[in-house]
Structure 1
Amino acid sequence: MRLQVALDVLDLPSALTLAGQVAEHVDILELGTPLVKSAGIAAVSAIKAAHPDKLVFVDLKTADAGELEAALAFEAGADLVTVMGAADDDTVRGAVAAGRKYGKQVVADMITVVEGRVARIREVSKLGVSFVEIHAGLDEQARPGYTIDTLLEDGRLAGVPFSIAGGIKIDTIGAVREAGATVAVAGGAIYNAADPGAAAKELKKRATA
């Protein structure tokens, strides 16, 4: 299982600093949506230039104009981009078309899809995405009773390649691996740690145990 770090910071210098602290321990560097909105698409090129050996994941959360938005990110150096799993099928198809053109990957982000999530995961997988990200956003995680177990169960049931984002920590990443995820996405467990590099190293160790 690969480890992805969400660079959920708001400016490029902070993103470059965090990426430098954790890059040797992770497989994928993710530019979070707030970072892209704040720093612009040029941040993608900067992160890729600083870490050309890492996959760069751009969390666009595209909801419309899938081909256009995905192409913007791919031309800037992205290896993977997200399109909303809740978006129109043609939006997903457009992003996938851009991925094929550039030889890159498109991921369907299932954030906001709760009811009927397994069925929708299977539907978007047939549209050609490389995998789906079963994702609980920060607002969902803050609700009473939230548990990552629901995401893991949906991943098992869907029967397609998936990643998990939403509450991955030292004590949950083993369960993510056991559920069959291809990628574990860690955010706060790394960037809020006193030593992000050490936190990433420990998560990577448990991701591949």
Structure 2
Amino acid sequence: MKLQIAIDRVLLDEAKVLMQKLAPEADILEAGTSLIKDYGVTVLDDLKEEAGGAQLLGDIKTIDEGAYEFKQGFRHGADILTVMGASSIETLQKCYDVSEGCGKDMMIDLLECTPEKTSEIVHFPHAIYCLHTSVDQGATANPSGDVLAFKKAFPGVRRVAIAGGINLQTVAGLSAAAPEIVIVGSGITKANNPIDAARKFRRVMAETCKSSM
């Protein structure tokens, strides 16, 4: 499992400091939606340098103008960009084509997608499908169950991420589900010691992976 740390709802200077400190502990560092809305997609240029060896994800949540927004996001340094699963098939295809052409990754945010809609958009072989409980809804009640149910319903999907109020206890229960990416935001960035919190998540994830072997 990979650890993605989401940095959001902070000033740019604080985001830069957090990214620099957390880069050694993260596989993926996320420039969150609010951060990009506050400063624009060009903020990715500022954050790329701080990401170190971690991949940089821009959570731009594209829902239209797919080709343009993805070209801009990748041009400004993102390795992964997000598009809403609720988008039209045409938008998703354009985002995927740009991602493939740039050698980058597309993450499809399945927030509020019905099973029927999801079944229409699971044909992108390299895309990451993100099961996402919104901030307004609260924490994901059963992330392991959600991932297992998704994999059972859509066995052809190879890459799955889980997001939404993930904590150390729920991460420890993910051994059977084994998502590719676990996304954690305030559980790390709002901790008294974010670096220590990130290290705890990494330890639990490593132990979880061992127990699943």
Same fold (TM over 0.5): yes
- Per the TM alignment, residue 133 of structure 1 is displaced from its structure 2 partner at its CA by 0.5
The equivalent of 2:47 in structure 1 is 47
The equivalent of 2:89 in structure 1 is 89
Segments of 5+ residues of structure 1 without an aligned counterpart are none
1:138 to 112, 135, 143: 135
Deviations 1:148-183 (A, max 9, x none): 345334333232220000121111112234312000
The equivalent of 1:33 in structure 2 is 33
The equivalent of 1:151 in structure 2 is 146
Q: What secondary structure, in the 3-state scheme, does the structure 2 residue paired with 1:171 have?
A: helix
The residue type paired with residue 136 of structure 2 is: D
Measure the CA separation in 2 of the matches of 1:23 and 1:205. 16
Number of positions where the alignment pairs a residue of Structure 1 with one of Structure 2: 203
Measure the CA separation in 2 of the matches of 1:204 and 1:155. 24
Q: Is the 8 A contact 2:147 2:162 kept in 1?
A: yes
The residue type paired with residue 173 of structure 2 is: A
Q: What secondary structure, in the 3-state scheme, does the structure 1 residue paired with 2:131 have?
A: strand
1:163-178 equivalences in 2 (<5 Å): 163-178=161-176
Runs of 4+ in 1 over 4 A off after TM superposition: none
The equivalent of 1:187 in structure 2 is 185
Query: Cα RMSD between the aligned structures?
Result: 1.7
Deviations 1:3-40 (A, max 9, x none): 00000123211111111222111100001100000011
Query: TM-score, normalised on structure 1?
Result: 0.90
The residue type paired with residue 138 of structure 1 is: V
Sort the Cα spacing of 1:154 and 1:139 in 2 relative to 1 into closer, same or farther, 3 A: farther
1:14-25 equivalences in 2 (<5 Å): 14-25=14-25
The answer to whether structure 1 residue 197 and structure 2 residue 195 are counterparts is yes
- Per the TM alignment, residue 51 of structure 1 is displaced from its structure 2 partner at its CA by 2.4
Q: Is the 8 A contact 1:176 1:184 kept in 2?
A: no
Measure the CA separation in 2 of the matches of 1:44 and 1:122. 32
Identical pairs, percent: 28
Q: Is the 8 A contact 1:108 1:129 kept in 2?
A: no
Q: What secondary structure, in the 3-state scheme, does the structure 2 residue paired with 1:53 have?
A: coil
The residue type paired with residue 142 of structure 2 is: I
Segments of 5+ residues of structure 2 without an aligned counterpart are 208-213
The equivalent of 1:6 in structure 2 is 6
Q: Is the 8 A contact 1:57 1:79 kept in 2?
A: yes
Query: TM-score, normalised on structure 2?
Result: 0.89
Q: Is the 8 A contact 2:24 2:53 kept in 1?
A: no
The equivalent of 1:71 in structure 2 is 71
Sort the Cα spacing of 1:188 and 1:172 in 2 relative to 1 into closer, same or farther, 3 A: same
Q: Is the 8 A contact 2:23 2:52 kept in 1?
A: no
